[in-house]
Amino acid sequence: MFFCWRDNCSDANFSKPLPIFTAKWSGAASKHEPLVRVDAAFNYILTHPRVFIINERQLNLTERTTWTTARNILFERALAEERHQGWHWAYYNFCDGDIRTTCPLTKSLLNTSHVNEDGLVIAVHFRSLISIQQHLTNKAKTNQCFILMDAFLLSVSPAIGVVAGMGAPILFDGLLTQIVYHIDAIFNAFHRDALSFILPYCSRYDKRSWWSSQAILVFRSLCLYGHVIQFNGVHITAQKHREYPRNGDPWQIDRDMNLVPRSLTSLQTYMKSERIVSALILRHYGGWSLAATSDECRHRHTSVNPVNCTVSGGKIRQKS
């Protein structure tokens, strides 16, 4: 999903879906079977991959909106479309519309002889997605960056997926994934079942700094700690921002919002500094699910007051 300012990208609304058959998404699924097929098969379900692009002009706003409000509008539009179509998205991918990306690992992942064991976790599915895309569009060339990101998300299943080039350095050459937590908002992919722990964005401090809404999201993501994964196969290489409010310390946030579970408050100060948790060995990682989240988070940190952004308990949005 992309939100675009003015004329830096074209309107697409929800693109016309191309029907494909997708393997049932679970930890029990074989990593050696293709994610997608063009024909029906046992344990594969009919799906409709779609992309949503909205331009600022489509919102018909009476005044210029903030980044936070724009992302929340995009979020609500996607939820509404989800209800309309009758099936859930796997991930909600939010991306600023003014970035450029490169994918330095695509060639190696498409070449079997150049892939290590961790790379194979993603490479098999990446190749199947490339093949299916070329079959459906009848084009030899496709946008491999976005397809590679899809392969990463659906193969690894992080709670939040981000890409390289957003602040956290790559620990060492050749590392495919690493665990992070202090994440920039340039590109964030949120697991469908993780939405209630982190969204919607909080606009409480937008007059002071637009960065604070992401700081609040980082604090709330403590319920997902250890499952925020940076994928180093996609790099952001450039971004051009317009001017926006960013005054003061974005981490100066009132303590009346219940953003962090009581058992995790000792980590709250730690989250303000940009550090890397660890390199990740993909073949040892089982992915994130609600079962990996504490009872405290599930029962007390899944609902947000839309006015003051106070966090409380609530019904968790799950896939049907």
pLDDT in tens, the chain (320 residues): 555 554 545 545 545 556 777 776 555 556 567 777 778 888 787 776 666 666 666 666 677 788 898 889 888 888 988 888 787 888 898 888 777 888 888 888 887 676 778 888 888 888 888 877 776 666 555 678 888 888 899 889 999 999 998 878 888 888 999 999 889 988 999 999 999 999 999 999 999 999 999 999 999 999 999 999 999 999 988 666 667 777 889 999 998 999 999 988 888 888 877 677 799 998 888 889 999 999 999 999 999 998 899 999 876 655 44
Single pTM value for the model: 0.86
- CA gap 76, 98 in Å, rounded: 22
- Which residue pairs, CB below 8 angstroms and at least 24 apart, start in 262-266? 262/296, 263/294, 263/296, 264/222, 264/223, 264/225
Helices (H), the chain: 67-85, 106-110, 117-137, 144-156, 195-198, 211-220, 295-300
Gap between the terminal Cα atoms of the chain = 21
Q: Which long-range contacts (CB under 8 A, 24 or more apart) does 242-247 make?
A: 242/5, 244/66, 244/67, 244/210, 245/206, 245/207, 245/208, 245/209, 245/210, 246/209, 246/210, 246/211, 247/208, 247/209
- pLDDT reported for residue 25: 56
Task: Report the half-sphere exposure of 314 (CA within 13 A, side-chain side).
Answer: 16
Tell me if 91 sits within 8 A of 189, measured CB to CB: yes
The pLDDT of residue 53 is 64
